[in-house]
């Protein structure tokens, strides 16, 4: 399934079809202009964030999402019918034929729009303290064993590759991080992004496609799509 990168200020004119449309928003300066596109409940939620940076991230991500989906649905941003499915995943009604997902961190937001379930995760590149300990606690035993075989200098980047890929798959499925150990993915530099197993089933890999890229310097993102 091809991936196409678009500009959020000028979205693709046609529906995704058999493609996935990806967008990245970097404009913290857009926050005030996006406020009017939030519903009353979303504005209340935004005002509950006591840290201004976190509040602005939410406004940027949710406001940009509404503007983007309004383009596809040919409606006003406030009229986009976003609802929470079981598990808390934001969705559109099935009759729209569209699926979406978003992720945001430190002033950068990434969006995926498709006609198949999709999940996306973006993380700032950083050193994660005690990465091996986190792998042992939250990843599968097989993945922990593979991590222990890596050169120590490879572990930080490998951890972020694995984390973003797992998050993307689980978000596409509408599941949370409590299922990290149930989703095994590749993470070495010598193997392509792939789902190895889900809930112990190693035959489901062909049902998922993974794509990893750098949305901008210092950030890593992963996309998961059901095929």
Alpha helix positions (H), 28-84:
31-34, 40-47, 52-73
- Beta-bridge mates of residue 22: 5, 112
Query: What tokens were used for 37?
Result: 């596109």
User: At what angle are helices 141-148 and 131-138 packed, to 10 degrees?
Assistant: 160
pTM of the predicted protein model: 0.93
Indicate the pairing of strand 83-84 with strand 108-114.
unpaired
Q: What is the pLDDT of residue 177?
A: 87
Q: Which of 35, 8, 3 is nearest to 24 (CA)?
A: 8
Residue 63 and residue 70 in contact, taking contact as beta carbons nearer than 8 Å: no
Q: Which of 99, 213, 218 is nearest to 165 (CA)?
A: 213
Cα of 18 vs its chain's centroid, Å: 19
Question: Which domains are seen in the chain, by residue range?
Answer: 3-116 (3.90.470.20), 124-212 (3.90.470)
Q: What is the pLDDT of residue 31?
A: 80
Q: What is the pLDDT of residue 27?
A: 66
Kindly give the confidence (pLDDT) of every residue in the chain, 227 residues in length, as a single tens digit, with 9 standing for 90 and above. Answer: 689 999 988 999 899 999 999 999 886 657 888 999 999 999 999 999 999 888 999 999 999 999 999 999 999 999 999 999 888 899 999 999 999 999 998 879 999 999 999 999 999 999 888 999 999 999 999 999 999 999 999 999 999 999 999 999 999 999 988 899 999 999 999 999 999 999 999 999 999 999 999 999 999 999 999 99
Residue 183 and residue 169 in contact, taking contact as beta carbons nearer than 8 Å: yes
- Beta-bridge mates of residue 123: 220
CA distance 7 to 68: 10
Residue 186 and residue 193 in contact, taking contact as beta carbons nearer than 8 Å: yes
CA distance 18 to 178: 31
Cα of 43 vs its chain's centroid, Å: 22
């Amino acid at each position: 399934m091809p991936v196409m990168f678009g500009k959020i200020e000028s979205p693709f004119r046609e529906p995704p079809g058999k493609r996935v449309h990806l967008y990245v928003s970097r404009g913290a300066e857009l926050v005030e202009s996006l406020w009017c596109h939030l519903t009353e409940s979303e504005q209340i939620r935004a005002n509950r964030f006591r840290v201004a940076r976190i509040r602005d991230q939410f406004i940027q991500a949710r406001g940009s999402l509404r503007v983007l989906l309004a383009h596809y649905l040919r409606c006003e941003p406030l009229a986009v019918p976003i609802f929470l499915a079981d598990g808390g995943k934001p969705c559109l009604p099935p009759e729209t034929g569209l699926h979406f997902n978003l992720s945001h961190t430190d002033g950068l937001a990434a969006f995926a729009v498709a006609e198949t379930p999709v999940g996306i995760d973006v993380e700032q590149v950083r050193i994660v303290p005690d990465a091996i300990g986190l792998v042992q606690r939250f990843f599968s035993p097989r993945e922990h064993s593979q991590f222990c075989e890596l050169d120590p200098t490879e572990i930080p980047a490998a951890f972020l590759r694995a984390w973003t890929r797992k998050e993307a798959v689980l978000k596409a499925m509408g599941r949370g991080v409590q299922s990290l150990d149930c989703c095994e993915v590749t993470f070495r530099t010598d193997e392509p992004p792939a789902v190895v197993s889900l809930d112990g089933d190693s035959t489901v890999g062909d049902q998922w496609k993974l794509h990893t890229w750098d949305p901008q310097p210092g950030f890593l993102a992963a996309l998961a799509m059901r095929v």
